[in-house]
């Protein structure tokens, strides 16, 4: 019998190459290809169970009933709860709180009478029990399974039919028919596909926990994103108590939703008003700060942007951005210098989003520019002022979406003034003093001496 030819799989993007090369042609990762022997057996059945082709009109559409997890912020990011047959990948650095969040959710679902299966592949059942006791998680409907063999896990999933299964973590699982050791690309992908196929055919939902390191691990979520329905990322600084949960892929709901948690001694607690949390202890009259009203999914979020401009004692000026797009910082500095008349060339520049949050929206441009100009000129914005706007290369301030939601959140937190692009105040500005700016020069005029 002719032996199947080996193939090489990229640990970063999951692309398959017929031969080994030093650099992946798809994602550009060096030394990222790993050998994987091709299987000579029959192909695995898909979610349809091997029924064969059917007419589009003949496919029965099931009602998308949502099942809440008991964690409000998790349900928000999922789009309202779990869907039958949903496979969710929860990624994040080790120790960020992934296991804690899922164990709390299983405890809440147990109180509703729903059975769940927690596969503890990295820890013993006793260790998970101690964590559950610390978190106050109780319930006779949570079953623990200390197992790394995927075949055993699939057997218990079939016999129990749990509402939710958690595999913590997918990197530790091993499938006998797949090549390689636990944690390799082939093993992780095959185990994930087996778990997803089980819930697609047998019902319930499954959470796959995946570790992500700064270096990028072989079994990271990037390899699994095409396998699952939903990809969630837990973010946060190690020395901050806040944890941010984002949806970067969701077949059953919106993407880029944001859930905010606070890490406490008894676990993760959902934050109902994250804007108030991020603005806590904010200096009201010190230069070098501006509050941006940004949108994270459907949720308005107010974040303080701090800027620091100081003369550079060395020959080369330093530019650092934390929590904002680092590629936009040089552009903002060039606009401030060319269009705003600020000589920033020989200064070190630092900009930071307070609270460990990351702001992806270009609406934070105006806040970052005003914070930097405020630090350079030693002039502060008036107290209780919120801003939002995208800065263009010609110095123009471009409009932003969902102005009404941004202003409602600002009024709720006691802000009195709003600086937004021209034409933004069509609605939702009641109770706020309105200021419209069309370019960066007009915006700089609002800094007080």
pLDDT of residue 54: 84
| Cα atoms in the 13 Å half-sphere on the side-chain side of 221 | 27
Residue with the larger pLDDT of the pair 24 and 220: 24
CB neighbourhood size of 262 (10 A): 15
Is residue 246 within 8 A of residue 257, CB to CB? The reply is: yes
Question: pTM for the full model?
Answer: 0.77
For 295, residues 6+ apart whose C-beta sits below 8 A from its C-beta are: 301, 361, 363, 401, 402, 405, 406
Percent of the chain whose pLDDT exceeds 70: 89
Instruction: State the Cα–Cα distance between residues 106 and 120, nearest whole angstrom.
Output: 13
For residue 441, name the pLDDT band (cuts at 50, 70, 90). Answer: very high
Domain ranges of the chain: 6-37, 66-272, 277-444
- For 105-145, the pLDDT digits (tens) are 999 999 999 999 999 999 999 999 999 999 988 878 999 99
Of 391, 413, 64, which Cα lies nearest the Cα of 252?
64
Q: Write out the two tokens for 293.
A: 């009203």
Mean pLDDT, to the nearest integer, of 370-397?
A: 95
Whether the Cβ atoms of residue 84 and residue 97 lie closer than 8 Å to each other: no
Specify whether the backbone of 46 is left (phi greater than 0), alpha (psi in -120 to 50) or beta: beta
Number of helices followed by number of strands (H, E) in the chain: 11, 23
Report how far residue 302's alpha carbon sits from residue 407's, in angstroms, rounded to the nearest whole number: 10
Fold equal for 66-272 and 277-444 = no
In order, the DSSP letters of 171-239 are GG-B-TTS-S-TTSHHHHHHHHHHHHHHHHHH-SEEEEEEE--TT--TT-HHHHTTTSSEEEEEE--TT
Q: Where are the alpha helices (DSSP H) in 249-402?
A: 274-278, 328-338, 365-377
Average predicted confidence (pLDDT) for the chain: 86
- Give the Cα separation of 214 and 322 in Å (integer): 16
Residue 338's alpha-carbon distances to 58, 216, 304, in angstroms, are: 63, 39, 25
Both tokens assigned to 32: 């990222």
E strands along 38-130, which residues? 66-67, 82-83, 87-92, 116-120
Which pair of tokens denotes residue 431?
């109770």
Distance in angstroms (rounded) separating the CA atoms of residues 307 and 277:
20
C-alpha distances in angstroms, 234 versus 77, 237, 352, 434? 11, 10, 20, 37
pLDDT digits (tens, 9 = 90+) for 286-325: 899 999 999 987 889 999 999 999 999 877 899 999 999 9
Q: Which of 218, 194, 353, 170 is nearest to 278 (CA)?
A: 353
pLDDT (0 to 100) of residue 216: 42
Going by their DSSP bridges, the two strands 6-10 and 33-37 should be labelled as antiparallel
Q: Fold for 66-272, please state it.
A: Rossmann fold (3.40.50)
Q: HSE-up of 308 (CA within 13 Å, CB side)?
A: 12
Which H helix or E strand runs over 350?
Answer: strand 347-353
pLDDT at 32 over 80: no
Q: Does domain 277-444 have CATH number 3.30.230.10?
A: yes
pLDDT digits (tens, 9 = 90+) for 41-61: 434 555 555 567 888 888 777
Residues 206-245: pLDDT tens digits? 999 987 755 544 445 567 888 999 999 998 876 678 888 9
């Amino acid at each position: 019998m002719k032996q199947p030819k080996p193939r090489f799989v990229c640990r970063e993007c999951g692309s398959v190459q017929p031969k080994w090369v030093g650099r992946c042609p798809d994602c550009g990762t060096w030394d990222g290809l790993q050998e994987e022997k091709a299987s000579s057996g029959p192909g695995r059945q898909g979610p349809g169970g091997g029924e064969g082709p059917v007419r589009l009109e003949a496919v029965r559409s099931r009602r998308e009933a949502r099942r809440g997890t008991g964690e409000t912020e998790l349900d928000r990011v999922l789009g309202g709860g779990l869907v039958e047959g949903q496979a969710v990948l929860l990624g994040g650095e080790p120790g960020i709180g992934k296991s804690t969040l899922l164990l709390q959710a299983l405890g809440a679902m147990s109180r509703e009478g729903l059975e769940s299966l927690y596969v503890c592949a990295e820890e013993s059942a006793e260790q998970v029990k101690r964590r559950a006791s610390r978190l106050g998680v109780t319930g006779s409907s949570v079953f623990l399974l200390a197992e790394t063999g995927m075949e055993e896990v699939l057997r218990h999933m079939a016999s129990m039919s749990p509402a939710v299964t958690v595999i913590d973590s997918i990197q530790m699982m091993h499938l006998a028919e797949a090549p390689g050791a636990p944690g390799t690309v082939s093993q992780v992908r095959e185990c994930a596909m087996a778990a997803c196929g089980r819930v697609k055919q047998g019902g319930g939902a499954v959470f796959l926990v995946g570790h992500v390191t700064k270096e990028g691990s072989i079994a990271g979520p990037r390899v699994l994103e095409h396998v699952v329905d939903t990809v969630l990322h837990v973010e946060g600084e190690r020395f901050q108590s806040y944890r941010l949960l984002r949806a970067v892929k969701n077949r059953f709901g919106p993407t880029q939703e944001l859930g905010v948690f606070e890490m406490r001694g008894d676990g993760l607690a959902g934050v109902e008003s994250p804007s108030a949390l991020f603005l806590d202890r904010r200096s009201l009259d010190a230069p070098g700060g501006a509050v941006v009203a940004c949108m994270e999914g459907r949720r308005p979020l107010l974040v303080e942007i701090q800027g620091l401009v100081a003369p550079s004692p060395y020959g080369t000026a330093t530019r650092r951005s934390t929590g904002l797009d680092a590629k936009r910082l040089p552009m903002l500095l060039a606009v401030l210098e060319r269009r705003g008349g600020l000589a920033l060339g020989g200064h070190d520049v630092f900009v930071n989003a307070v609270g460990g949050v990351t702001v992806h929206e270009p609406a934070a441009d105006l806040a970052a520019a005003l914070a930097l100009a405020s630090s350079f000129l030693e002039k502060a914005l008036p107290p209780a002022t919120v801003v939002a706007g995208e800065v263009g290369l010609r110095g123009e301030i471009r409009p932003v979406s969902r102005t009404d939601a941004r202003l409602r959140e600002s009024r709720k937190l006691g802000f009195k003034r709003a600086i937004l692009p021209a034409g933004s105040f069509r609605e939702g500005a009641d109770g706020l003093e309105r200021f419209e700016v069309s370019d960066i020069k007009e915006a700089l005029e609002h800094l007080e001496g």
